[in-house]
């Protein structure tokens, strides 16, 4: 097994565990999987979805680091792809915007997450949301199919980020765009964090430098890149002390190192496809009002 395959297996094992335990347990562990870390508040990374249209609490496992669907500029009738869709949280929020004339495709490589997402979709009666088993480095969709791609704290877990953004470019239509939330770094992580598999699955060790991340996006062919939101992530001492000595902790807390959540937008060059305006029926007879 190659190093990249080993990292993918670590992530798959952790997120399989996450999918089979209560949300409350996910929210009180540093990597969402009861990994033995000290209890912390989920708000360190995740953000509150509850006020967004389409929010389904059963699909929210508290694993994100932003609100990409809030910034994704989704239109009625759009085809949206959610990379690393988990239990369906962002997919269902996207569906509420794209409406019955659009569709959402969630992609995840953890079978237990797909089972959870499909069960949630069935319970909600959604027939224009589907969830596919697949690897973000080799997406199981045809080219030029999506108007919008979203992802929440997932691409930092992909070993080959260049390939992931290349695939995102491939599946987007001409003029399409993405909005993704991710963890990036400013400065170099201490070795204890950088090499630790538990923290990799917790989205820290898998993160790369902010400038490198943005450059990969540019090199993939995207244009009009912008950071829509940025938030510093503070890891509590009780978590850092598991992985770092006192000197390393001091550098993380008081040095130039930053662990940051960013929501990034970029476009695939071309003319954006026009969408027909869907007008609501007026109340004109007994079929639509009493």
- What proportion of the chain, given as a percentage, has pLDDT over 90? 49
DSSP conformation letters of 243-280:
H--HHHHHHHHHSS-EEEEEEEEEE-SSPPPP----PP
What is the pLDDT at residue 243? 77
Q: Go through the domains of the chain in sequence order and give each one's CATH number.
A: 3-267 (3.40.50.150)
Question: 88-127: buried (b, 16+ CB within 10 Å) or exposed (e) per residue?
Answer: bbbbbbbbbbbeeebbbbbbbbbebbbebbbebbeebebe
What confidence category does residue 122 fall into, taking pLDDT thresholds of 50, 70 and 90?
very high
Q: Which helix (H) or strand (E) holds 6?
A: helix 3-19
Do 286 and 109 meet the contact criterion of CB atoms below 8 Å apart? no
Arithmetic mean of pLDDT, 95-103: 95
What is the pLDDT at residue 22? 62
Instruction: Calculate the dihedral angle through the C-alpha atoms of 135, 141, 146, 148, rounding to the nearest 10 degrees.
Output: -10
Place of tokens 């989205």: 203
């Amino acid at each position: 097994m190659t190093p990249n395959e080993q990292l993918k297996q670590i992530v798959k094992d952790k997120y399989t565990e996450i999918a089979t335990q209560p949300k409350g347990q996910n929210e009180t562990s540093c990597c969402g999987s009861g990994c033995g870390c000290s209890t912390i508040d989920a708000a360190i990374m995740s953000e509150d979805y509850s006020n967004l249209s389409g929010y389904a609490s059963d699909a929210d496992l508290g694993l994100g680091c932003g609100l990409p669907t809030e910034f994704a500029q989704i239109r009625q009738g759009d085809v949206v792809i959610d990379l690393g869709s988990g239990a369906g949280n962002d997919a269902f929020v996207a569906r509420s915007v794209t409406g019955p004339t659009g569709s959402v495709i969630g992609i995840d490589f953890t079978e237990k997450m797909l089972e959870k997402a499909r069960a949630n979709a069935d319970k909600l009666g959604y027939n224009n949301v589907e969830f596919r088993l697949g690897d973000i480095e080799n997406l199981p969709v045809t080219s030029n199919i999506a108007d919008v791609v979203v992802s929440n704290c997932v691409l930092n877990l992909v070993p080959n980020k260049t390939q992931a953004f290349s695939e995102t470019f491939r599946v987007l239509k001409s003029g399409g765009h993405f909005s993704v939330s991710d963890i990036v770094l400013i400065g170099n992580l201490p070795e204890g964090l950088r090499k630790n598999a538990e923290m990799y699955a917790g989205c820290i060790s898998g993160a790369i430098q902010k400038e490198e991340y943005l450059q990969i996006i540019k090199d993939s062919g995207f244009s009009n890149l912008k950071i829509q939101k940025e938030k510093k992530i503070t890891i509590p001492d009780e978590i850092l002390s598991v992985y770092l000595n006192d000197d390393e902790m001091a550098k993380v807390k008081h040095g130039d190192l930053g662990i940051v959540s960013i929501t990034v937008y970029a476009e695939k060059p071309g003319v954006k496809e026009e969408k027909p305006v869907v007008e609501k029926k007026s109340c004109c007879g007994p079929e639509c009002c009493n």
